């Protein structure tokens, strides 16, 4: 391949400076040991370190890619290469395309990007760890267990076959009566829990755990993109979990959410699924854009053009992607005014995407590119993603979409977007960051083969699909007649996959294996890059930074002479943290906007409880799958026990006096018992999560109410309001007593506080019992009509939230009696009160909806 000669990678960076080196104090080795996970099998099971979890998440993604992404697609392409081919049966073909879509959308790209985030963020942001190492471990275990549970369907010869979106009624109990779809719903359910757990970790990591001085406008763009991605995961996956719950209730418990005969709506599933499904595409492409924004400036030897514009574009895409979902439903018969809303939003999202493109091109234009493999993949991304984006705007127009819908044109479009827009940046990211974590450079010659095979292969495989799609070939057909003129295009597509893409991936795997065995040594900063992670040795120490970096620029390694210079008190502070404490893992939180140190806190140690809790989640879902219902209770108990044990307050490893001494000297408070700041953010996100789930159920309620001419259906009388009103008063009153108790605790009147919590338990408990008794007295069921289904599900959710509050209150009461909380330290109690406020509101709105909804006429 004749490419222009590269500038040597060690060529001076734009500012012409050498990469600054790190201060490594005497404590370096000791800190490295302190932050290492235990050795051996036990260490593997209890490990929580970000590099361990990050690499595991990425490997899980690549494992499922090879299993589901590659194997399935080759088989399908071989089948379609010739007309009237009979290599595989129609049933197997259905299973293959279902599996291919499901695995790539849920089990490949998501864990890979979350893995990138967990592995890289502490280094990129200049912190020592992610905020919740144990939550990260829990996320990994649930993703792995979920993927394996889903894949175990092959062992039972019950492979899901209803497409990756599992449309009802095909996926409902009538048309898919065996276990196959339960593997889909429940296996993925476990993985979705994991995805959300890691999203919590990423949000708080980016907002609160950065190097001192890293203000919001100095955060590297990859971290911004991961922040947007994590929020999107929270807002998109939560509705999907609720949707999956409704589908499983239909399948396993006889509810009627999606059966139009009995008041349900099959379109409700499509709405819920695509409220997840469309943002999911951007959940994948937003971090990809982040990777590209990191790599292009480094290899162009130029600062990124339009940093603020790119941040705006990422945030705009994050929001706009939630207003596009019905463009997957243009042909279901929505009214034209609704079509126009979704078409307009689908086209509007091209504006921020275009802004990104111009910024990237301008950056390359302003520099002098070094054509390394990572950069080649970025340029390949620009070309292929642009084509995918343009066909995307085409299908955003309803008249065109009505023609192209469900045809191979859409298959071509989405593969250009997902391979060009997502897979290429992933390859770029691996080539770029591989030396940082292995200390070895991937081979450039093999890298070029890797790139060109994939670049040519993607175009050969997927471009003909646009043509054959416009000729009328539908997607998801296992064969086609001879004489339609489709054969040649399909043959070309198959050649693209078999002759180019498969060898391309093989070259990549070979490159990784070969490099691990005898790769060229990489220094700390082989690319002359600008961001913090390249300031650490390759591979970096377990704790990343002995002395935290001080950031005064958006490109610290290009602009700063020294990573530890700055305001004198900050210099003193970061050196202080390098030497103290050495008995527990100290992390630092910073102000969200200004990046000034806010708190030194103890980061969680290795623990078995994340694995234990993940096993509990698996038991719940697997028990429902195999219809061993009593085991659901066992799983729930395991989860509750796991969460309690996980959060069991540990004695702070130092005295208040020792904490105060550091505060006095350095001006930053210390919380050796655990962070106040991080817990506050986690509480807020937890409430947000519950609220999104609740909001999805409310929207489902109103959607079903819209669709039904009679509400409640004939035979169900209006409900009495007296007892529900008393129950609501009791629950809300119970929460208020706890709030009153918090004030007494702050006045150091622990006895009154204990009394208040006992009062809360009694009063709210009585309210819950009264409400459950009221439900038991009703003579309508959840199986006869969608009205009963949503009535009991929504009520059940609200009661479940209140029951969770009872457990939380009981534990806080127990720990108070044990003497855990004082007027000085009681953050957990304050956060419980936040939860109580949310639970009170949810109770009020939830029961107002189910009791007053039928009365609004």
Partner 1 sequence: MTNKEERAHGATTGTSGTPFPVDFTRDRRARVTWVLFLAGPVIWISHFMFVYLVAEAGCTGDGPGLELFDPPITAIVTIAATVIATLACLQFARWAYRRWQYSEGEDHDDGRVGMAFTGMLLSLLSVVAILLEGLPALVFTGC
- Residues 638-657 binding partner 1 (CB under 8 A) are 656-657
Q: Verify binding: residue 676, partner 1, rule CB under 8 A.
A: yes
Contact assessment for residue 111 and residue 163, using Cβ atoms and an 8 Å cutoff: no
Which has the closest alpha carbon to 102: 176, 174, 198, 189?
Answer: 189
Tell the smallest beta-carbon distance from residue 23 to partner 1 (Å).
Answer: 23
Select 341 or 452, whichever has its Cβ closest to partner 1: 341
Tell the smallest beta-carbon distance from residue 207 to partner 1 (Å).
Answer: 10
Q: Give 345's contacts (C-beta < 8 A, 6+ positions apart).
A: 320, 323, 324
Q: Which of residues 96, 820, 826, 842 is near partner 1 by CB under 8 A?
A: 826
Q: Tell me how many residues contact partner 1 (CB under 8 A).
A: 72
Q: Verify binding: residue 341, partner 1, rule CB under 8 A.
A: yes
Q: Which of residues 3, 5, 664, 779 is near partner 1 by CB under 8 A?
A: 664
Q: Verify binding: residue 340, partner 1, rule CB under 8 A.
A: yes
Select 27 or 592, whichever has its Cβ closest to partner 1: 592
Which has the closest alpha carbon to 302: 354, 351, 219, 375?
Answer: 375
Tell the smallest beta-carbon distance from residue 591 to partner 1 (Å).
Answer: 4
Q: Verify binding: residue 830, partner 1, rule CB under 8 A.
A: yes
Q: Which of residues 475, 723, 749, 825 is near partner 1 by CB under 8 A?
A: 825
Q: Verify binding: residue 663, partner 1, rule CB under 8 A.
A: yes
Number of other CB atoms surrounding residue 556 within 10 Å: 26
Q: 522-541: which residues touch partner 1 (CB under 8 A)? A: none
Tell the smallest beta-carbon distance from residue 776 to partner 1 (Å).
Answer: 28
Spatial separation of the C-alpha atoms in residues 638 and 318, rounded to whole Å: 36
Q: Which of residues 135, 245, 286, 345 is near partner 1 by CB under 8 A?
A: 345
For residue 274, CA distances in Å to 165, 246, 270, 286 come to 8, 15, 6, 18
Tell the smallest beta-carbon distance from residue 344 to partner 1 (Å).
Answer: 4
Tell the smallest beta-carbon distance from residue 823 to partner 1 (Å).
Answer: 7
What b-and-e string marks burial along 36-75, b requiring 16 or more CB atoms within 10 Å of the CB?
A: bbeeeeeeebbbbbbbbbbbbbbebbbebbebbbbebbbb
Select 284 or 552, whichever has its Cβ closest to partner 1: 552
Q: 268-327: which residues touch partner 1 (CB under 8 A)? A: 307-309, 311-312, 315-316, 318-320, 322-323
Q: Which two tokens stand for residue 86?
A: 């009979």
Q: Which two tokens stand for residue 631?
A: 């085991």
CA angle 511-514-516, nearest 5°? Answer: 105
Q: Verify binding: residue 831, partner 1, rule CB under 8 A.
A: yes
Select 415 or 564, whichever has its Cβ closest to partner 1: 564
Report the C-alpha dihedral over residues 207, 208, 213, 215, rounded to 10 degrees. 20
Contact assessment for residue 79 and residue 87, using Cβ atoms and an 8 Å cutoff: yes
Contact assessment for residue 1 and residue 448, using Cβ atoms and an 8 Å cutoff: yes
Q: Verify binding: residue 335, partner 1, rule CB under 8 A.
A: yes
DSSP designation for 649: P
From residue 704 to residue 723, what is the string marking binding to partner 1 with x (rule CB under 8 A)? -xxxxxxx------------
Q: Which of residues 592, 647, 783, 837 is near partner 1 by CB under 8 A?
A: 592
Considering only CA atoms, give the Rg of the chain. Answer: 28
> Which helix (DSSP H) or strand (DSSP E) does residue 584 occupy?
none
Q: Scanning the structure block, which residue is given the tokens 């596009």?
A: 324
Helix (H, G, I), strand (E, B) or coil at 294: helix
Tell the smallest beta-carbon distance from residue 468 to partner 1 (Å).
Answer: 32
Select 117 or 267, whichever has its Cβ closest to partner 1: 267
Spatial separation of the C-alpha atoms in residues 587 and 582, rounded to whole Å: 12
Contact assessment for residue 371 and residue 399, using Cβ atoms and an 8 Å cutoff: no
The DSSP secondary structure of 732-759, one letter per residue, reads HHHHHHHHHHHHHHHTT-HHHHHHHHHH
Tell the smallest beta-carbon distance from residue 201 to partner 1 (Å).
Answer: 20
Select 631 or 830, whichever has its Cβ closest to partner 1: 830
Q: Verify binding: residue 659, partner 1, rule CB under 8 A.
A: yes
Bridge-based pairing of strands 597-602 and 586-590 is antiparallel
Q: 215-234: which residues touch partner 1 (CB under 8 A)? A: 215-218
Tell the smallest beta-carbon distance from residue 661 to partner 1 (Å).
Answer: 8
Select 143 or 570, whichever has its Cβ closest to partner 1: 570
Select 503 or 713, whichever has its Cβ closest to partner 1: 713
Select 83 or 260, whichever has its Cβ closest to partner 1: 260
Q: Which of residues 6, 24, 599, 774 is near partner 1 by CB under 8 A?
A: 599
Helices (H), 439-562: 444-470, 487-495, 502-518, 556-559
Tell the smallest beta-carbon distance from residue 744 to partner 1 (Å).
Answer: 12
Q: 347-406: which residues touch partner 1 (CB under 8 A)? A: 347-348, 351-352
Helix (H, G, I), strand (E, B) or coil at 407: strand
Q: What is the largest CA-CA distance in the chain?
A: 87
């Amino acid at each position: 391949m004749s490419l222009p000669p590269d500038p040597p990678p060690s060529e001076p960076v734009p500012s012409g400076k050498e990469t600054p080196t790190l201060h490594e104090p005497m404590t370096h080795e000791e800190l490295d040991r302190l932050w290492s996970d235990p050795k051996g099998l036990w260490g593997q099971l209890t490990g929580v370190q970000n590099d361990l979890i990050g690499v595991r998440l990425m490997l899980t993604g690549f494992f499922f890619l090879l299993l589901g992404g590659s194997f399935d697609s080759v088989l399908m392409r071989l089948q379609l290469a010739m007309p009237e081919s009979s290599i595989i049966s129609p049933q197997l073909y259905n299973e293959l395309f279902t599996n291919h879509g499901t695995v790539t959308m849920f089990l490949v790209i998501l864990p890979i990007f979350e893995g990138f985030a967990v592995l890289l963020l502490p280094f990129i942001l200049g912190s020592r760890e992610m905020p919740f190492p144990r939550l990260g471990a829990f996320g990994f275990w649930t993703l792995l267990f979920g993927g394996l549970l889903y894949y175990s369907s092959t062992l039972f010869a019950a492979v899901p076959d209803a497409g990756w979106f599992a449309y009802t009624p095909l996926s409902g109990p009538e048309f898919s009566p065996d276990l196959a779809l339960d593997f889909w719903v429940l296996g993925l359910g476990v993985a979705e829990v994991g995805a959300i757990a890691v999203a919590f970790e990423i949000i708080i990591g980016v907002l609160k755990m950065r190097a001192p001085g890293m203000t919001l406008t100095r955060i590297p763009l990859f971290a911004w993109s991961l922040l947007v991605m994590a929020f999107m995961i929270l807002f998109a996956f939560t509705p999907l979990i609720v949707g999956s719950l409704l589908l499983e209730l239909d399948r396993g418990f006889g509810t009627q959410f999606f059966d139009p005969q009995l008041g349900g709506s099959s379109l409700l599933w499509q709405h819920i699924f695509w409220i997840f499904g469309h943002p999911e595409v951007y959940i994948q492409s937003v971090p990809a854009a982040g990777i590209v924004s990191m790599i292009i400036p480094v290899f162009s030897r130029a600062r990124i053009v339009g940093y603020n514009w790119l941040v705006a574009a990422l945030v705009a895409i994050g929001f706009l992607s939630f207003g596009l979902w019905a463009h997957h439903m243009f042909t279901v018969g929505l009214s034209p005014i609704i079509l126009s809303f979704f078409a307009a939003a689908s086209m509007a999202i091209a504006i921020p995407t275009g802004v990104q493109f111009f910024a990237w091109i301008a950056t390359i234009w302003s520099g002098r590119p070094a054509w390394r493999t990572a950069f080649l993949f970025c340029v390949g991304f620009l070309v292929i993603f642009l084509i995918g984006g343009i066909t995307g705007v085409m299908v955003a127009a309803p008249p065109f979409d009505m023609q192209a819908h469900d045809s191979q044109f859409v298959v071509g479009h989405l593969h250009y977007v997902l391979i060009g827009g997502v897979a290429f940046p992933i390859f770029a990211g691996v080539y770029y960051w591989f030396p940082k974590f292995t200390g070895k450079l991937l081979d450039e010659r093999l890298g070029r083969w890797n790139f060109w095979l994939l670049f040519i292969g993607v175009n050969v495989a997927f471009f003909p699909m646009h043509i054959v799609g416009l000729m009328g070939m539908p997607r998801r057909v296992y064969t086609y007649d001879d004489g339609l003129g489709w054969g040649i295009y399909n043959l070309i597509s198959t050649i693209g996959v078999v002759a180019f893409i498969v060898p391309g991936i093989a070259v990549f795997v070979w490159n990784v294996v070969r490099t691990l065995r005898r790769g060229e040594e990489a220094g700390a900063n082989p690319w002359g890059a600008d961001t913090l992670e390249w300031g650490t040795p390759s591979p970096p120490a377990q704790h990343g930074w002995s002395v935290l970096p001080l950031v005064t620029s958006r490109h610290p390694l290009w602009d700063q002479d020294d990573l530890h210079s700055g305001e004198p008190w900050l210099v003193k502070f970061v050196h202080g943290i390098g030497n103290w404490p050495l008995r527990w893992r100290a992390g630092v939180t910073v102000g969200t906007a200004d990046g000034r140190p806010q708190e030194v806190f103890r980061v969680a140690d290795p623990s078995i409880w994340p694995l234990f809790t993940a096993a509990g989640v698996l038991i719940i879902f697997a028990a429902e799958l195999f219809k061993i219902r009593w085991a659901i209770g066992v799983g729930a108990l395991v989860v509750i026990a796991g969460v309690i044990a996980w959060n069991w307050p540990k004695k702070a490893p130092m005295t208040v006096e020792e904490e105060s001494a550091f505060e006095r000297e350095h001006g930053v408070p210390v919380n050796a018992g655990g962070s106040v700041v991080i817990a506050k953010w986690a509480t807020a996100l937890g409430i947000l999560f519950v609220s999104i789930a609740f909001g999805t159920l409310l929207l489902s309620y109103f959607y079903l109410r819209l669709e039904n001419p009679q509400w409640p259906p004939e035979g169900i009388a209006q409900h009495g309001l007296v007892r529900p009103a008393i129950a609501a008063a009791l629950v809300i009153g119970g929460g208020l007593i706890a709030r009153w108790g918090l004030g007494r605790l702050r006045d150091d009147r622990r006895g009154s506080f204990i009394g208040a919590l006992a009062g809360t338990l009694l009063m709210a408990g009585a309210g819950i019992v009264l409400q459950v008794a009221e439900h038991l007295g009703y003579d309508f069921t959840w199986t006869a009509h969608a009205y009963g289904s949503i009535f009991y599900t929504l009520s059940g959710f609200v009661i479940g939230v209140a029951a969770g509050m009872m457990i939380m209150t009981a534990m806080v009461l127990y720990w108070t009696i044990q003497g855990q909380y004082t007027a000085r330290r009681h953050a957990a109690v304050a956060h419980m009160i936040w939860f109580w406020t949310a639970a009170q509101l949810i109770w009020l709105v939830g029961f107002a909806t189910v009791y007053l909804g039928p009365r609004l006429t």
